[in-house]
Amino acid sequence: NAGVTQTPKFQVLKTGQSMTLQCAQDMNHEYMSWYRQDPGMGLRLIHYSVGAGITDQGEVPNGYNVSRSTTEDFPLRLLSAAPSQTSVYFCASSYTAGPVGGDTQYFGPGTRLTVL
């Protein structure tokens, strides 16, 4: 199993550009989520999905869109990039409801995004 994969690893955007961060998992996990990690802020949830066709907002959803058309993929779209979106983005997945009940939440390696 490849686990959770994210592409690209690094990206530089100009203000106003749009792009899609890709996330895929090959573990047949129902739950997937996107976090951003900023210095001094910890991990903050952007959006999450409890299954194909179902998504919901997390703590910091503004400026981001998601969709979940398949179990495997959960792309994150930046609609009009802003310098405040400079961050490291992590995708995560788990089989059931995350670590509750002992299930493990697997994180991808991250995408480092810089918006100029």
**In the bound complex, what is the minimum distance in angstroms from residue 13's beta carbon to other proteins?**
20
Q: How far is the CB of 44 from other proteins (least distance, A)?
A: 7
Phi and psi angles of residue 10, each rounded to the nearest 5 degrees, phi first:
-135, 150
Site for other proteins in 75-104 (CB under 8 A): 90, 92, 94, 97-102, 104
**Residue of 18, 41, 53, 70 interacting with other proteins (CB under 8 A):** 41
What values do phi and psi take at 51, rounded to 5?
A: 165, 170
Closest CA to 87 of 10, 18, 25: 10
Of 43, 71, 77, 83, which lies in the binding site for other proteins, with binding defined by CB under 8 A?
A: 43
Q: Counting contacts by CB under 8 A, is residue 61 touching other proteins?
A: no
53: left (phi over 0), alpha (psi -120 to 50) or beta: left
